[in-house]
Amino acid sequence: MNTLFRLHYFPESGNSYKVALMLTLCGAPWKPHFVDFFGGETKSEKWQREVNEIGEVPVLEFEDCRISQSGVILYYLAERLSNFGACNAAEERELLRWLFFDNHKFTSYFVTHRYLRSFTENADPVVISFLRSRIDSCFAVVEKRLGTCAFIVGERPTIADLSMVGYLYYPESETGYDLPASHPNIARWLERVAGLPGWQPPYQLLPGKRFSLGKL
């Protein structure tokens, strides 16, 4: 694999971390490109015109291609790099089922809760409580699932795992979750993923200026 991938990211983005982790675990050469998300870079007309009209990261560039949305990027890389993908049609359906669950619910509620809790001021406690209840419901599903298998789809890691762990390695001070205490199956799953050769935590894998409200 000689293609040099270029990843547009910012360090706090777990969706960027998912892609960076995939590339790293696969041994694919890639170059990080910091995006000043908190400074409003992705909202600029120029950035949306030249990089991603949706105004989001991650964005992966290589050769003459540009791909956005972490789930799409992971799915593409699994095919291109022949790693962490499905072995057959039935497994692919199962992989996609959990990937969609992650994007629609598991990551969605968790990232919004973390963002409001740690990167904004005066978050509405009612909203925080609602999001926490939704997270807990999603976590209960995954906790039960991981009581019967080592990884989300079965006994080996796939992009479903890499997608779903994307925000779970960030510090408890940001997320508000002590997973070993509250969800031991999820915590052991995170340890198994972290045991994969080449694994690195988010802020090590994604360097650059970090946002702070002075309390992190």
pLDDT exceeds 50 at position 59: yes
| pLDDT value for 3 | 73
Q: pTM of the predicted model, to two decimals? A: 0.94
Higher model confidence: residue 211 or residue 34?
34
Share of the chain above pLDDT 90, in %: 90
* pLDDT band at residue 82 under the 50/70/90 scheme: very high
Q: What are the boundaries of each domain within the chain?
A: 5-84+200-205, 89-194
Average pLDDT over residues 177-204: 97
Residue 38 φ/ψ, nearest 5 degrees: -70, -20
| pLDDT value for 148 | 95
186 CB-side CA count, 13 A? 22
Higher model confidence: residue 128 or residue 211?
128
| Cα gap 52→124, rounded to integer Å | 31
Residue 119 CB burial class (10 angstroms; 0-12, 13-18, ≥19): middle
H or E segment at 8?
strand 5-9
| Cα gap 20→201, rounded to integer Å | 10
pLDDT exceeds 70 at position 213: no
| pLDDT value for 132 | 96
Local structure of 47: helix, strand or coil: helix
Higher model confidence: residue 113 or residue 122?
113
CATH superfamily of 5-84+200-205: Glutaredoxin (3.40.30.10)
Residue 172: how many other CB atoms lie within 10 Å: 11
Q: What is the pLDDT of residues 153-188, one digit of tens each?
A: 999 999 999 999 999 999 999 999 999 999 999 999
| Cα gap 119→180, rounded to integer Å | 24
| pLDDT value for 1 | 55
| pLDDT value for 212 | 67
| Cα gap 51→38, rounded to integer Å | 17
Please choose, from the candidates 68, 38, 83, the residue with its C-alpha nearest in 3D space to the C-alpha of residue 197.
Answer: 83
First CA to last CA distance, the chain: 39
Q: What is the pLDDT of residues 122-160, one digit of tens each?
A: 899 999 999 999 999 999 999 999 999 999 999 999 999
| pLDDT value for 210 | 78
pLDDT exceeds 60 at position 215: no
Is 89-194 assigned to CATH 3.40.640.10? no
| Cα gap 139→202, rounded to integer Å | 21
Average pLDDT over residues 103-114: 95
Per the rule left: phi > 0, alpha: psi between -120 and 50, beta: everything else, 27 is left
